[in-house]
Structure 1
């Protein structure tokens, strides 16, 4: 994005939530604000500091850090400060633990010679709205999810729909106030919302946080108007103001300083160079999800039967994942597909892979960062949403006709023949319409972040709002 003519010496506190899918996009926003001469302090816990290195190197005078230790919580083992390292089911504990930073931040503000005039914090940190209120400054909610997903999240906490039949996890919940009236089975709703227990102190803390998000001065969304206009307009109507800023796609566009997550893999990119345009299927389920061995078997069989070229990014089992149950590539698979496909273990350079001319389709869990990257790269998506906002993200892709449904759910094991057929179809003339649609949205995404684009205007509007 070009540097805006707007200049501002405003000091802002940026507070990311320590999960990769949340941190990366907020750090990309921080980069854009720093380019616009906003003075920034980023709050992190000690072990998350290395994530900031590229940003601090790029803006040594504009960005400083506030390093505070993560407060203890009985569900978080000592030494763990990032969601990816948490034991299973301790996700809410991180939200609650971070809430205990309220007083340390308050003290830091009161002792600072030139304290921030605003806080921009992740939507899992809603309590910072009350902190901002006590300090007499503005708080902006940052949404790492899109406008439709945020509309669903806000609707859940504002109206609190409940099941009629507590035994029926397939009971449908309708969101009739949201455009196009999306509806979801109970099990597809936010697990944080589904685990809410009235009167439980931690549940009430989380509920109050989301209600505080709705009440915050402004909302900053990693999306662009041309992709989600109807849902952006809905949010403005629901909130009763126009301080909803769509500033995406927040991507490390051509900037090697922001090569997400790790170094580029020359082997993968060199292999892609040998493939024809739009013939490769990329398979990846994000930075957190690990497939069960049954799911791994089916994906492998589908790829093998399809005869398509592919790159499969395999997430190795982490905390809470038993290697005998999760993440195992079937024996002999790589030998059988040698020359036609690559299995990448651990981190894969996703932005570079999706942007490569040879990649035509993407089997995805529908995490929002992955969607933004794929939309920008004009890649057709095959959708397998697993949890959280991924179901509403898939809804959007299907509505826009840039996504084709594979299956739904973290426990679902699709049919390998159907999967093989979809793989083949996704890089064939059968999906020409969808791929033309993907191309049109990629053009809109690039224009949004280009000179005088809608997202550049929104960033400038945000900076002007921060500096008033």
Structure 2
């Protein structure tokens, strides 16, 4: 590859670790191919990123953009994990205030491309004026983008015939092939309030998403054609944009570091005592919140299942509480861990046979499973459903099909060469399609 074709690529994720970490993984993969990276975020988030591998350090510049002070946003809150979910709109207001610091970055450094997230609806016009090419990077599958419709009509102008939560419980009419992609009613009600209607940031999430898609040069999606080629084609047709799958971004290594070795040894000692494939690992991500009733039913469902489990239950401010006596009753069979855990190492241990999660895309992209049945109207959990679902997946004869499918999918997820080829193609696209 000639020196003339080396790129300078900036990455600008939304302020949530479920977004920043995939962006950071992509940054490292691009840097591995010899290109210069500017990773843009706020000071505290920059400090909390994983360490850059020494061989890539000369190519990756971590750029701190000061986050403006915003009313109702606690001091030092720079990521979604720092705040309860109802304060997320105020974090978006602060994020919108990064326009000024970003302009200052552009005054001293003009990247060939900037890869950005769903939130900066104001960014595409700035890039157009500066002659910088833009990539909207979706960490969510093409099926998610397809479900939302056209960026201009459905997302920005809200020319969408779906005006009630009930309308989102069936596949949309513009999907021309068989599909089961739809919300449950309780999910649709929550999505309406959280994402479709205007929130306290002054904009809806759907408007933000439609604006960045409508103004980008290319849509990059964390997926592969082996999983959803038909949906990828549909995204391109809906938005009249080139769509480039970048693979699933499987982690390159087990994410522990030397200062966590003692913690991992303690966890590993417990896992080593369990039978192969017998343990359920439970984790709900860094931003997801469970209500007190949800946590109560979940815990009692774990107890009722009779299965061994390891629960990564990080406590937050005003955290909900486990049922009285729960930890004593499951002692020996179940472990509740209340601080950081090396998730990849845990999931890679041979004793772990199942994963119970909130279904954040970075988690479910690596698995095949079932959804625990919830109340259709309010989404509430029942302990019996938790126990029945876990036993079906882990031990029941009727769940063998799921276990076999998971083993089959593992080959696809673990095919590093295939995923590397997708990244190669994405980088080649950026090299050949820069704004003149």
TM bucket normalised to smaller: 0.7 to 0.9
Deviation at 1:58, TM superposition (A): 4.8
Q: How is 1:348-367 mapped onto 2 (pairs within 5 angstroms)? A: 348-367=341-360
Query: Distance between the aligned counterparts of 1:433 and 1:98, measured in 2?
Result: 45
Aligned length: 419
Deviation at 1:212, TM superposition (A): 2.7
The answer as to whether partners of 1:6 and 1:36 remain within 8 angstroms in 2 is: no
Change (3 A) 1:122 1:82: same
Work out whether 1:230 is the aligned partner of 2:230.
yes
Deviation at 1:195, TM superposition (A): 2.5
Change (3 A) 1:118 1:146: same
**What TM-score results when the alignment is normalised by the length of structure 1?**
0.80
The answer as to whether partners of 1:20 and 1:287 remain within 8 angstroms in 2 is: yes
Change (3 A) 1:51 1:220: farther
For residue 331 of structure 1, what is the aligned residue in structure 2? 324
Query: Distance between the aligned counterparts of 1:201 and 1:423, measured in 2?
Result: 39
Change (3 A) 1:164 1:122: closer
- SS of the equivalent of 1:278 reads coil
Q: Which shows bigger deviation, 83-92 or 301-310?
A: 83-92
- SS of the equivalent of 2:51 reads helix
The answer as to whether partners of 2:141 and 2:223 remain within 8 angstroms in 1 is: yes
Work out whether 1:187 is the aligned partner of 2:189.
yes
The answer as to whether partners of 2:8 and 2:111 remain within 8 angstroms in 1 is: yes
Change (3 A) 1:289 1:458: same
Of 34, 37, 51, which aligns to 1:37?
34
Q: Gaps (5+ residues) in structure 1? A: 382-402
For residue 150 of structure 1, what is the aligned residue in structure 2? 145
Change (3 A) 1:88 1:280: closer
For residue 404 of structure 2, what is the aligned residue in structure 1? 436
Work out whether 1:427 is the aligned partner of 2:394.
yes
Q: How is 1:51-130 mapped onto 2 (pairs within 5 angstroms)? A: 51-52=48-49, 54-55=51-52, 57-112=54-109, 115-130=110-125
For residue 126 of structure 2, what is the aligned residue in structure 1? 131
RMSD, aligned α-carbons: 3.0
Deviation at 1:216, TM superposition (A): 0.8
Deviation at 1:84, TM superposition (A): 1.5
Work out whether 1:240 is the aligned partner of 2:246.
no
The answer as to whether partners of 2:89 and 2:201 remain within 8 angstroms in 1 is: no
The answer as to whether partners of 1:311 and 1:341 remain within 8 angstroms in 2 is: yes
Deviation at 1:122, TM superposition (A): 1.4
Deviation at 1:210, TM superposition (A): 2.6
Query: Distance between the aligned counterparts of 2:192 and 2:224, measured in 1?
Result: 23
Of 400, 408, 421, which aligns to 1:457?
421
CA deviation vs aligned residue, 1:257-310 (integer Å, no higher than 9, x gap): 789x99963222222222222211122222122322322222222222221111
Q: Which shows bigger deviation, 130-139 or 120-129?
A: 120-129
The answer as to whether partners of 1:145 and 1:221 remain within 8 angstroms in 2 is: yes
Q: Which shows bigger deviation, 79-88 or 300-309?
A: 79-88
Change (3 A) 1:290 1:206: closer
Change (3 A) 1:111 1:348: closer
The answer as to whether partners of 1:268 and 1:342 remain within 8 angstroms in 2 is: no
For residue 289 of structure 2, what is the aligned residue in structure 1? 290
**What TM-score results when the alignment is normalised by the length of structure 2?**
0.86
Deviation at 1:38, TM superposition (A): 1.1
Change (3 A) 1:118 1:153: same
Query: Distance between the aligned counterparts of 1:365 and 1:53, measured in 2?
Result: 23
Query: Distance between the aligned counterparts of 1:410 and 1:339, measured in 2?
Result: 37
Q: Gaps (5+ residues) in structure 2? A: none
Change (3 A) 1:81 1:224: same
For residue 418 of structure 1, what is the aligned residue in structure 2? 385
CA deviation vs aligned residue, 1:164-221 (integer Å, no higher than 9, x gap): 56xxx55545422134163333414354433327xx9822797255323233111222
Deviation at 1:19, TM superposition (A): 0.6
The answer as to whether partners of 1:56 and 1:64 remain within 8 angstroms in 2 is: no
Deviation at 1:314, TM superposition (A): 1.4
